[in-house]
Structure 1
Amino acid sequence: MTYRPNYHLSPPSGRLNDPNGITLIDDTLHVFYQHDPGFPHAPKRTGWGHAVTTLGEGIWRHLPDALYPDFPYDANGCYSGSSVFHEGQVRLFYTGNLKVNGERVTSQNIVDVDDLTGPAGGFYRRSAKNPIIDGPAEGYTAHYRDPQVSREGERWRMVIGAQRTDETGAIVLYFSDDLESWDFAGELRFHDMPEAVSHSYMWECPNLLTLRDRADGQEYQVLVFCPQYPESDQCVYVVGRLDGLDFHVTTYRTLDHGHEFYAPQLIPYEEDALMLGWMGLPGRDDTPTLESEGWVHQLTLPRRVWLDGGLLFQELVLPRSHEGMLVKSVELDQTPVLIELIDDSSVPGFSVSWDGEGVLEFGRESEVNRVACIPGQLVFTADGCAVEVTAGNGYVAASSAVFSSGGNPWGEIQVTQGT
């Protein structure tokens, strides 16, 4: 028995966290990710791992790690970032982390990639112009990271997660004509944002993109980010209109309602977006996989994400052939339903209950998350220790790491109507 999933990307060894630099070329999906290969037996050395799959096939092929913390500006970590595929050239953008006399020093940097699709999985050259952004703008601390770069009209736009000097979270913008020289534009100003989010101390992993709403055909801006609080780490999204630095919010919602989901990355995909998230949370690394198998955490399956009626809907991109993964589809209507993941000793490990009146519960041992949902199709998947559910035709998504009793393999997804 292994807890390792077949179709969810997990590290060969050590610790995996945020997905980085997602790049889709034709139907070939390259995913980089935060990787600390010696965790927990060696000093922290976070770089970028690299794996590739064919979208819809689902089997990952690991390639050599792309980045190691080897340069003076990233000696203590190559932290999260994004990729740009422009005029046949792939460029990675990442945050370099450095500790000087116990103080954090961060910078934003470029890596030029040659032959990404070749047998070696690419050759990686840090730009001689690094750091392209050397330290935070005035008014912000060194918690200034996770650059996401995209095209905005005639210019390039970079969004960065930040912390103000008063230790509250923010998102800042930069613009460039050539991807190398970046001008600070300022901080996003949010209108009609819930007041509670202002109490978070850091906003990580921002993704800013434009999607066309299937309901009215209009374009809206979508910002996905991770506000951190002293007692919790969350992942949310806002929808609205961006006018300069003013973001007029019409929707604010949690992105995933499971027990482990954080730091997703989204890229444009056809008329919608493609997303992968980290099935983990900061500081929660004590799982059975670490001691027994030498690795911890995995990414979600790729998800297609679209905007409909001001809300984000999500669909799991299931592998066409998914031998070794349990998949169950259930139609939610006015009938209560209990859906349980059972191991081969008939012990339940995870459950989804629907009350027939619009409330879903996701249960793992004593942890229960409740969320309002609409009727429609529910898709339940279990792949090793990775469990993902979408419900209400994608209205709700949930991701949880679930470890079976005594390491037993999963037996079935059991459905009981009328409970």
Structure 2
Amino acid sequence: MNYRPLFHLSPPSGRLNDPNGIFLDGDTLHVYYQHDPCFPHAKKQTGWGHAIASLSAAQPWRHYPDALYPIREYDAHGCYSGGAVVDGEDVWLFYTGNLKRDGVRIPSQNRVRAVEPSGPAGGFYEHDPANPLINGPAEGFTGHYRDPQITRDDAGWRMVLGAQAEDETGHVVLYRSTDLAHWSFEGALTFDTSQAEPGLSPDLVPGGYMWECPNLVTLRDRATGEDKDVLVICPQGLEPVLADGSTHYASSDQCGYLVGRLDGTVFHVERGFSELDYGHQFYAPQLVEKDGEAIMLGWMGLPAQDDTPTVKEGWVHTLTLPRRVWLEDGWLRQAPVWELPESDSVATLQAGEGTYALVDDSGAEAFRVTYGGGELCLACGGDERVVPCPAGSLDLIADGCAVEVFAGDGRIAGASAVFGASGARWKGWEAR
């Protein structure tokens, strides 16, 4: 069996999860990611892997040695997720250090200077001697306090963190800085929904017991020319909802976005919560702004879903393809950055409404897409996901075990890990 994709980032060995520290150096896309190189043969030791690729054309990823290892007192139990900041000639990586003492989680926010990350060695990494820059959670929050993502606005630098309050509800908290070294706590974001239009999900703002991996970016709406703040969050613990024949919150680990305007710590919601991806495996995305749009990658996996056939090959999970993400009429749209060349493990199709099956070399159907009548249905192994979707283009991509669907001119996306009976050797997409 061989399930490894050619163009979706997978780890050389071990376990991959959240994408981290995405940044652009000209046309070169740097992606760091959560990496347990010894999975499943040793205890969890999460650090950061590092790989690069060009945005201009599809090519296999170039892997560098891991960038971060959990070897310091403040990150002894893991270098958890975070982001990258390019400030002039400097590239800084920010991450959450995980430390557990007597069963108590002690999170800290730390930074590392990446020296020559585009060089032949993949960079050298210098931890700030002032670490931890933020030691422990703010008052009223638990040890679930992580995943720093940093962007610039007119007031300086802003950091958002995923957090859990002591009443076990999910939040995003905001810090500010003028120098990337000293951070002041501004508070938890609150949400004004008085002028909000609904998104695709049942809630204007979701609940959940923890919000992970927040992203706060400013994108220019193609339809209006206005700049809007887009807040991406990953709420955990939502109950599945079936409404109007559509599937919402199918997993307890969700990911979605809100559109509006941040003023202080108040997020004025203009478009309520919509899930970012309706496939079977998608979580913890990271976005980097580019020319009024964004480049995004997500994790094609979910917490506690490590038992896949690829474990026998010595690795588990992939990231999505890099996606272009833009705002149009208050909605996010997505499209793959690359057009993939066909091979025995890569099958693509550009189509319209209809029913299409991904068939492997044994003749078995591994995945099915049904598009029409204002709906998109994604079916894998008896698990069907249905979402409203207007008529438009349909792009189907299978690359090894990684399958991605883009429907309705980019209005709906779906990522799923698919394991054919004969490995990931695809006969192709067939109309049904």
Shift in Å, 1:86: 1.1
Shift in Å, 1:407: 2.5
Q: Which residue of 2 aligns with 1:46?
A: 46
Contact kept, 8 Å, 1:13 with 1:295, in 2: the verdict is yes
Query: What secondary structure, in the 3-state scheme, does the structure 1 residue paired with 2:352 have?
Result: strand
Q: Which residue of 2 aligns with 1:284?
A: 305
Tell me, in whole angstroms, the C-alpha distance in 2 between the residues paired with 1:230 and 1:393: 28
Q: Which residue of 2 aligns with 1:16?
A: 16
Tell me, in whole angstroms, the C-alpha distance in 1 between the residues paired with 2:373 and 2:125: 53
Tell me, in whole angstroms, the C-alpha distance in 1 between the residues paired with 2:207 and 2:370: 32
Contact kept, 8 Å, 2:281 with 2:300, in 1: the verdict is yes
In structure 2, the CA distance between the partners of 1:270 and 1:321, relative to structure 1 (3 Å rule), is: farther
Q: Which residue of 1 aligns with 2:404?
A: 388
Q: Which residue of 2 aligns with 1:310?
A: 330
Which ranges in structure 1 are unaligned for 5 or more consecutive residues?
none
Shift in Å, 1:138: 0.4
Please list, as runs of the form range in 1=range in 2, the aligned pairs for 1:193-208 lying within 5 A after superposition.
199-208=207-216
TM-score (norm 1): 0.95
Alignment root-mean-square deviation, CA: 1.4
Contact kept, 8 Å, 1:197 with 1:227, in 2: the verdict is no
Shift in Å, 1:271: 2.3
Q: Which residue of 2 aligns with 1:139?
A: 140
Tell me, in whole angstroms, the C-alpha distance in 2 between the residues paired with 1:124 and 1:260: 32
Q: Which residue of 2 aligns with 1:36?
A: 36
- Aligned-residue sequence identity (percent) comes to 56
User: Which amino acid letter does the alignment assign opposite residue 42 of structure 2?
Assistant: A
Q: Which residue of 2 aligns with 1:149?
A: 150
Q: Which residue of 2 aligns with 1:61?
A: 62
User: Which amino acid letter does the alignment assign opposite residue 234 of structure 2?
Assistant: C
Tell me, in whole angstroms, the C-alpha distance in 1 between the residues paired with 2:140 and 2:107: 15
Shift in Å, 1:187: 0.8
Please list, as runs of the form range in 1=range in 2, the aligned pairs for 1:355-394 lying within 5 A after superposition.
356-394=372-410
Stretch of structure 1 that moved more, 265-274 or 299-308: 265-274
Tell me, in whole angstroms, the C-alpha distance in 1 between the residues paired with 2:274 and 2:258: 7
Count of residues in Structure 1 that have an aligned counterpart in Structure 2:
410
Contact kept, 8 Å, 2:2 with 2:423, in 1: the verdict is yes
Contact kept, 8 Å, 1:58 with 1:319, in 2: the verdict is no
Query: What secondary structure, in the 3-state scheme, does the structure 2 residue paired with 1:350 have?
Result: strand
User: Which amino acid letter does the alignment assign opposite residue 98 of structure 1?
Assistant: L
Q: Which residue of 2 aligns with 1:179?
A: 180
Contact kept, 8 Å, 1:48 with 1:65, in 2: the verdict is yes
Shift in Å, 1:197: 5.3
Contact kept, 8 Å, 2:3 with 2:424, in 1: the verdict is no
Q: Which residue of 2 aligns with 1:345?
A: 362
Tell me, in whole angstroms, the C-alpha distance in 2 between the residues paired with 1:322 and 1:163: 45
Stretch of structure 1 that moved more, 400-409 or 235-244: 400-409
In structure 2, the CA distance between the partners of 1:248 and 1:197, relative to structure 1 (3 Å rule), is: closer
In structure 2, the CA distance between the partners of 1:370 and 1:195, relative to structure 1 (3 Å rule), is: closer
Please list, as runs of the form range in 1=range in 2, the aligned pairs for 1:115-126 lying within 5 A after superposition.
115-126=116-127
Tell me, in whole angstroms, the C-alpha distance in 1 between the residues paired with 2:98 and 2:185: 20
What do residues 361-405 of structure 1 show as CA deviations (whole Å, max 9, x unaligned)?
000021000001011110000000000010011000000000001
Which ranges in structure 2 are unaligned for 5 or more consecutive residues?
197-201, 240-251
In structure 2, the CA distance between the partners of 1:256 and 1:230, relative to structure 1 (3 Å rule), is: closer
Q: Which residue of 2 aligns with 1:78?
A: 79
Q: Which residue of 2 aligns with 1:108?
A: 109
